[in-house]
């Protein structure tokens, strides 16, 4: 009997060891649930949401209260942090002569920064628990092909990862794929990508459409002055799987993925050519035109709808398109819906911010701090409020556990409560300019400012 109990205990121990070993191996190989990671711009499927994260209710950067670490990031970048497992990925562009920094505030200056110095485009891998740099790689060194906007940098695009590949896109300076240990797997050049305001050819503003990785494919949207296109590359090899030309003016949008009846589609924002394409082939499924003529926000998915917004020029729409859309679904003049457009608001959309669909509310943040909270099924306004007395806003909002986090350019993180009435929970100084969206991981939030990466978490 005693021997039998010993055998049972030994068997249980071996099973436990086997389970822990398998879990460890799956973690090392990148087989973590993507839904609990922050694998691209604005997290999983650009939702900007990670619930059950257990973030602290408040923090103080100066006193390091509920701040685990804070490290200086050299150079300039408005790429947001990306998190997979215990690793953070971030990019920057470093020049000893480009010292102008960001120019925050509300203004109409569209002239690019007059700088032609040599830059180094870098990718960092950082331990999320300690802030230690695990590895850094210089992807490219040279003079930038395109100048930058005063609010822009030469490292605007957020990396994408699937736990096996880390893809960094530096526009005209190329697309680079590393493994999690920093080994370069492949690189690709698309030539000079002219990210220029279409009505003013000397208004060079740099590339800003981030790559995404989904089901082993890297998707890249390149809406530029000449020869715009959408393409899919094999994540393992960099081989181009398909490329679809787009009749589109320069834009700074990141694509997204949605599923309808078990089939996946790539969806993109646009002015002349907003629409969706088959994920496997790149074949166009639907299209529509109209909206802001400097298209920047990323489409957001939920409730069997795809949400878009944009703002510049005559219109600043917010709209919801059904996932069964097909053909040309462009609204006729005066229309606010049709067979495939659920609802359409001609005014109020944001110039910079990607929408936040959280629980049963759709949040639209404008760059003057005005928040429109909408019913996502009807577009009806739930409330309208203003945060910040004179602040301007660039970084898109994110959400966790009933709270919305909105970074202000001048260095304040505004926290509002999710609900049908406006409730400002906190205004937390970051003590540095902030133009990026935070990243959320289990128990932690990562905020990239002009000079630092800040790790918020309970100590």
User: Could you read off the pLDDT of 150-209 as tens digits, one per residue?
Assistant: 889 999 999 999 999 999 999 999 999 999 999 999 999 999 999 999 888 888 999 999
Q: Which two tokens stand for residue 203?
A: 């208004």
pLDDT digits (tens, 9 = 90+) for 245-286: 999 999 999 999 999 999 999 999 999 999 999 999 999 999
Q: Who contacts 175 (Cβ-Cβ below 8 Å, separation ≥6)?
A: 167, 168, 169, 187, 188, 189, 190, 211, 218, 220, 233, 238
Q: Which residues have CB under 8 Å from 5's CB, separation 6+?
A: none
Using the predicted structure, report yes or no on whether residue 7 has a pLDDT greater than 50: no
DSSP letter string, 309-352: E--BTTB--EEEEETT--EE-PPPTT-S--SSEEEEESS---SS
- Among the listed residues 152, 153, 142, 150, the one whose alpha carbon sits nearest the alpha carbon of residue 113: 150
Asked if residue 9 has pLDDT above 80, the reply is: no
For the chain, how many residues are written?
Answer: 459
Tell me the average pLDDT of the chain.
Answer: 92
- pLDDT over 70 at 27, yes or no: no
Domain boundaries, the chain: 34-456
Burial pattern 23-43, b for ≥16 Cβ within 10 A else e, equals eeeeeeebeeebebbbbbbbb
User: Which tokens sit at 315?
Assistant: 């219109």
Q: Is the pLDDT of residue 18 over 80?
A: no
Three-state SS letters, 379-442 = CCEEEEEECCCCCCCCCCCEEECCEEEEEECCCEEEEEECCCCCCEEEEEECCCCCCCCCEEEC
At 459 the pLDDT is 79
Residue 402 has pLDDT above 70, yes or no: yes
Mind listing the pLDDT tens digit for each residue in 331-377? 999 999 999 999 999 999 999 999 999 999 999 999 999 999 999 99
User: Which residues are registered as beta bridge partners of 124?
Assistant: 90, 136
Q: What pLDDT sits at residue 110?
A: 84
Is pLDDT of 382 > 60?
Answer: yes
pLDDT at 232: 98
Q: Is the pLDDT of residue 109 over 90?
A: no
**CATH level 3 topology of 34-456:** Methylamine Dehydrogenase; Chain H (2.130.10)
Give the pLDDT score at 6: 52
Q: Which residue has the higher pLDDT, 63 or 106?
A: 63
Backbone angles phi, psi at 177, to 5 degrees: -120, 125
Q: Which residue has the tokens 């599923």?
A: 259
Is the CB of residue 177 less than 8 Å from the CB of residue 238?
Answer: yes
Q: Return the pLDDT at 77.
A: 96
């Amino acid at each position: 009997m005693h021997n039998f109990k010993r055998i049972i205990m030994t068997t249980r121990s071996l099973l436990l060891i086997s389970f822990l070993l398998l879990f460890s191996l799956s973690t090392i190989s990148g087989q973590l649930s993507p839904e609990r990671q922050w694998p691209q711009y604005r997290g999983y499927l650009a939702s900007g949401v990670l619930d059950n994260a257990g973030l602290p209710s408040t923090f103080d950067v100066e006193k390091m209260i509920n701040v685990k670490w804070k490290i200086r990031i050299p150079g300039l970048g408005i790429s947001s942090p990306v998190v997979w497992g215990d690793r953070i990925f971030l990019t920057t562009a470093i020049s000893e002569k480009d010292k102008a920094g960001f120019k925050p505030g509300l203004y109409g200056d569209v002239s690019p920064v007059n700088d032609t110095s040599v830059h180094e485009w870098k990718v960092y891998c950082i331990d999320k628990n300690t802030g230690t740099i695990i590895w850094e790689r210089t992807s490219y060194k040279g003079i930038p092909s395109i100048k930058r906007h005063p609010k822009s940098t030469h490292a605007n695009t957020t990396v994408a990862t699937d736990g096996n590949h880390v893809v960094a896109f530096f526009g005209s300076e190329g697309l680079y794929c590393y493994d999690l240990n920093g080994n370069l797997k492949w690189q690709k050049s698309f030539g000079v990508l002219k990210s220029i305001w279409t009505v003013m050819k000397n208004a060079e503003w740099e590339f800003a459409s981030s790559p995404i990785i989904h089901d082993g494919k890297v998707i890249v949207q390149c809406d530029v002055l000449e020869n715009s296109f959408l393409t899919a590359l094999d994540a393992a090899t960099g081989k181009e799987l398909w490329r679809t030309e787009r009749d589109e003016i320069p834009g700074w949008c990141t694509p997204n993925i949605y599923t309808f009846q078990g089939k996946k589609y790539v969806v993109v924002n646009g002015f002349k050519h907003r629409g969706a394409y088959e994920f496997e082939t790149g074949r166009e499924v639907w299209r529509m035109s109209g909206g802001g003529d400097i298209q920047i926000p990323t489409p957001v998915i939920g409730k069997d709808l795809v949400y878009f917004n944009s703002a510049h020029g005559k219109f600043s729409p917010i709209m919801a398109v059904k996932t069964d859309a097909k053909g040309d679904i462009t609204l006729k003049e005066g229309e606010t819906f049709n067979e495939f457009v659920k609802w359409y608001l001609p005014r109020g959309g944001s110039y910079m911010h990607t929408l936040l669909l959280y629980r049963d509310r759709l949040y639209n943040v404008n760059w003057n701090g005005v928040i429109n909270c909408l019913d996502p099924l009807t577009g009806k306004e739930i409330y309208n409020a203003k945060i910040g007395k004179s602040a301007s806003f660039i970084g898109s909002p994110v959400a966790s556990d009933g709270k919305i986090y909105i970074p202000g350019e001048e260095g304040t993180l505004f926290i509002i409560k999710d609900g049908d009435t406006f409730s400002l929970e906190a205004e937390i100084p970051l003590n540095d300019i902030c133009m990026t969206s935070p990243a959320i991981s289990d128990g932690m939030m990562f905020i990239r400012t002009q000079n630092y990466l800040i790790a918020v978490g309970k100590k």
